[in-house]
């Protein structure tokens, strides 16, 4: 019934013929009444106002009742209106008591009875339709068509159920929901925790849906919801927001506090398409756009989203395929120690040479990996590979070699990050002091308490921590004093302007002085000219890297570089 009322409110008022007839009938009843019975000598104004307000409210509701297109309900409401009109007229005339008890009372009772009967039949029809859909979808409840973990229908019945719903429904909404952090939960707490999270989300869906809606699990961390009938955009978006709020609520699984979120794409039938295949594609595109917009939100399908999403969706699938087939690789850029003029470390840089597009810009596919969640497994692989490579070089040639690895925001927010890194160090045999983790200033602002705990754990482990792209964020300088950092890296945008630009010189000089006053090493990246190198050396910068020193090198070239130009072991 609420769905019908929403639909009634959404349709234009075009029922003047029926409403006009009812008005004429009311006028006829009123005129006949005043001719049949004499007026009272005095009136009770309070009763007249009360009866008039009740009649007005019922009359205003009448056009919406008519739009529900249920004859029993309409007739019942009309009888109720007549009884209310008679009740108002009785306040003006001296009619026999028999009219009160028989005529008005009978009309009111009959009207209310018909209204109640209409509501009852509506509920019965809804239940019958739901049972029919379930029986048609899967009369024998075959296990192969249901997800064993959540008990929800699976992808094998999605298209069939969607096509069934598209038949009788005036409108429906298809919501595609993807969990943003299931991979993190699996990686951090194990697959049992991930399975319990999936079961929890399935229960959330069932609790939020109406009896005529359907929830399905169609992939590892992906669900679909068919909302029938979906009477306009508002109802679909209200459901989406309700789901987002419920899924994002913090909870505990196996003693661990879990924070999860979802990205939801919404498409409407028939507005966005009249074929099941098209609706499924639209919902997937809108869901992907929700991830691109920062996750934990919903997006409605539009043709504009479709045009933008196609290339990125294709690239995301190719990135996953590249990772699974070992087509991603690392390059290493040397870092020169200005005190010894020898290489004391390398920064590991992730690379992807696309078969059609060639070498892709790092920021392009890193952001894509962050949006899709691939950054967690890719980042873990890059970290382990960098540690393994560094360990091999240290065994070839003794020296204070250190490898620096960037952590993305999503990696940094992983629970027990220090424990995961400790496992990698133990596996590769690399000493903690030979690993440097680089984090950006922006990470510090998101959750200071959590950032402090993570950095403190890394410091206790013995891993060096560096603030990357220093000077580009909005972090308070007090963070440098309070957080356990070992070095800061001046952003290349400042290095590019020296020595010609006075502002760049001033900022660079100030950052170097600030770092040294806090007993931090200072690294300059993006050094491309001898003049830049000379200026940094005069200001006491500790380490530099950039194309003037060396471009990023493949593993064999980087190994030769270390063997020939690496810093010597202290005697």
Q: Are 473 and 440 in contact (CB under 8 A)?
A: yes
pTM of the model: 0.54
Q: Are 32 and 88 in contact (CB under 8 A)?
A: no
Q: Give the Cα separation of 330 and 225 in Å (integer).
A: 41
- Phi, psi for 85 (deg, rounded to 5): -65, -45
CATH second-level architecture of 314-566?
Answer: Alpha-Beta Barrel (3.20)
Burial class (CB in 10 A: 0-12, 13-18, 19+), 272: buried
Any idea which fold 155-301 has? Answer: Alpha-Beta Plaits (3.30.70)
Helices (H), 180-253: 182-189, 191-208, 233-248
Longest dimension (CA), the chain: 123
Mean pLDDT by 10 residues, the chain (571 residues): 41 48 72 73 79 78 69 74 75 65 70 71 60 50 75 87 76 91 80 91 92 88 87 84 93 90 92 88 86 85 72 76 85 94 94 81 77 82 95 89 89 82 94 92 65 87 89 60 85 87 90 90 94 94 95 95 84 51
Of 418, 461, 447, 443, the residue nearest 259 (C-alpha): 447
Structure tokens at 174: 């298809």
Q: What is the dihedral of CA 341, 343, 348, 352, to 10 degrees?
A: 80
**Distance of CA 97 to CAs 73, 112, 162, 212, 479, Å?**
29, 22, 59, 49, 86
Q: Is the peptide bond before 499 cis (omega within 30 degrees of 0)?
A: yes
- Phi, psi for 176 (deg, rounded to 5): -105, 120
Q: Give the Cα separation of 211 and 160 in Å (integer).
A: 18
| pLDDT confidence of residue 309 | 61
- Phi, psi for 324 (deg, rounded to 5): -70, -25
Q: Give the Cα separation of 200 and 248 in Å (integer).
A: 12
| pLDDT confidence of residue 479 | 67
Q: Is the peptide bond before 270 cis (omega within 30 degrees of 0)?
A: yes
Structure tokens at 392: 């091999």
Q: Are 476 and 514 in contact (CB under 8 A)?
A: no
User: Which of 60-97 are b and which e, b meaning 16 or more Cβ less than 10 Å from the residue's Cβ?
Assistant: eebbbbbbbebebbbebbbbbbbbbbbbbbbbbeebee
List all residues 6 or more positions away from 358 whose beta carbon is below 8 Å from its beta carbon.
none
Domain residues of the chain, as ranges?
155-301, 314-566
Q: Give the Cα separation of 119 and 290 in Å (integer).
A: 39
Of 80, 82, 71, the residue nearest 118 (C-alpha): 71
Q: Give the Cα separation of 58 and 52 in Å (integer).
A: 10
- Phi, psi for 139 (deg, rounded to 5): -60, -30
**Distance of CA 244 to CAs 13, 235, 237, Å?**
35, 14, 10
**Distance of CA 196 to CAs 88, 423, 542, Å?**
62, 25, 50
| pLDDT confidence of residue 68 | 63
- Phi, psi for 302 (deg, rounded to 5): -140, 155
Of 466, 460, 468, the residue nearest 419 (C-alpha): 460
Q: Give the Cα separation of 147 and 222 in Å (integer).
A: 12
| pLDDT confidence of residue 10 | 39
């Amino acid at each position: 019934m609420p769905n019908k009322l929403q639909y009634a409110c959404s349709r234009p008022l075009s029922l003047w013929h029926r409403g006009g007839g009812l008005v004429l009938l009311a006028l006829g009843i009123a005129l006949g009444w005043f001719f049949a019975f004499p007026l009272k000598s005095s009136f009770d104004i309070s009763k007249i106002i009360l009866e008039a307000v009740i009649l007005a409210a019922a009359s205003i509701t009448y056009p919406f009742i008519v739009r529900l297109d249920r004859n029993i309900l309409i007739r019942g409401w009309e009888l109720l209106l007549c009884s209310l009109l008679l009740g108002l007229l009785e306040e003006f005339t001296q009619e026999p008591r028999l009219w009160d008890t028989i005529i008005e009372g009978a009309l009111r009772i009959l009207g209310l009875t018909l209204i109640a009967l209409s509501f009852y039949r509506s509920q019965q029809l809804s239940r019958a339709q739901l049972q029919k859909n379930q029986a048609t979808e899967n009369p024998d409840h075959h296990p192969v068509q249901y997800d064993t973990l959540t008990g929800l229908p699976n992808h094998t019945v999605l298209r069939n159920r969607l096509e069934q719903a598209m038949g009788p429904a005036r409108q429906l909404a298809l919501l595609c929901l993807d969990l943003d952090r299931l991979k993190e939960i699996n990686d951090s707490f194990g697959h049992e925790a991930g399975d319990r999270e999936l079961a929890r989300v399935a229960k959330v869906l069932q609790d939020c849906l109406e009896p005529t809606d359907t929830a399905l699990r169609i992939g590892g961390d992906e669900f679909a919801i068919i909302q029938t009938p979906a009477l306009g955009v508002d109802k679909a978006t209200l459901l989406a927001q309700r789901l987002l709020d419920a899924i994002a609520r913090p909870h505990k699984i196996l003693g661990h506090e879990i924070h999860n979120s979802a990205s939801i794409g919404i498409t409407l039938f028939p507005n966005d398409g009249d074929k099941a295949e098209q609706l499924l594609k639209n919902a997937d595109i809108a869901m992907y756009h929700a991830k691109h917009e920062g996750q934990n939100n919903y997006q409605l399908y539009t043709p504009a989203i479709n045009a933008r999403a196609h290339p990125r969706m294709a690239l995301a699938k190719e990135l996953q395929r590249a990772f699974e087939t070992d087509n991603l690789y690392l390059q290493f850029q040397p870092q020169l120690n200005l005190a010894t003029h020898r290489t004391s470390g390398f920064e590991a840089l992730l690379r992807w040479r696309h078969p059609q597009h060639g070498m892709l810009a790092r920021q392009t596919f890193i952001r894509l990996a962050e949006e899709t969640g691939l950054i967690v497994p890719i980042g873990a692989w890059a970290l382990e590979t960098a540690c393994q490579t560094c360990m091999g070089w240290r065994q070839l040639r003794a020296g204070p070699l250190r490898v620096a690895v960037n952590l993305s925001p999503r990696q940094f927010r992983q629970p027990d990050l220090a424990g995961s890194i400790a496992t990698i160090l133990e596996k590769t045999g690399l000493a903690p002091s030979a690993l440097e983790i680089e984090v950006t200033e922006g990470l510090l602002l998101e959750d200071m308490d959590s950032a402090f705990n993570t950095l403190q754990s890394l410091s206790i482990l013995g891993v060096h921590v560096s603030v990357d792209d220093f000077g580009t964020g909005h972090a308070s300088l007090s963070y440098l004093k309070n957080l356990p950092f070992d070095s800061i890296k001046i952003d290349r945008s400042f290095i590019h302007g020296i020595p010609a630009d006075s502002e760049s010189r001033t900022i660079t000089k100030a950052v170097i002085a600030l770092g040294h006053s806090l007993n931090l090493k200072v690294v300059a990246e993006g050094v491309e000219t001898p003049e830049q190198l000379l200026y940094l050396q005069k200001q006491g910068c500790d380490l530099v890297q950039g194309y003037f020193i060396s471009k990023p090198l493949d593993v064999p070239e980087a190994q030769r570089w270390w063997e020939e130009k690496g810093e010597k072991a202290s005697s």
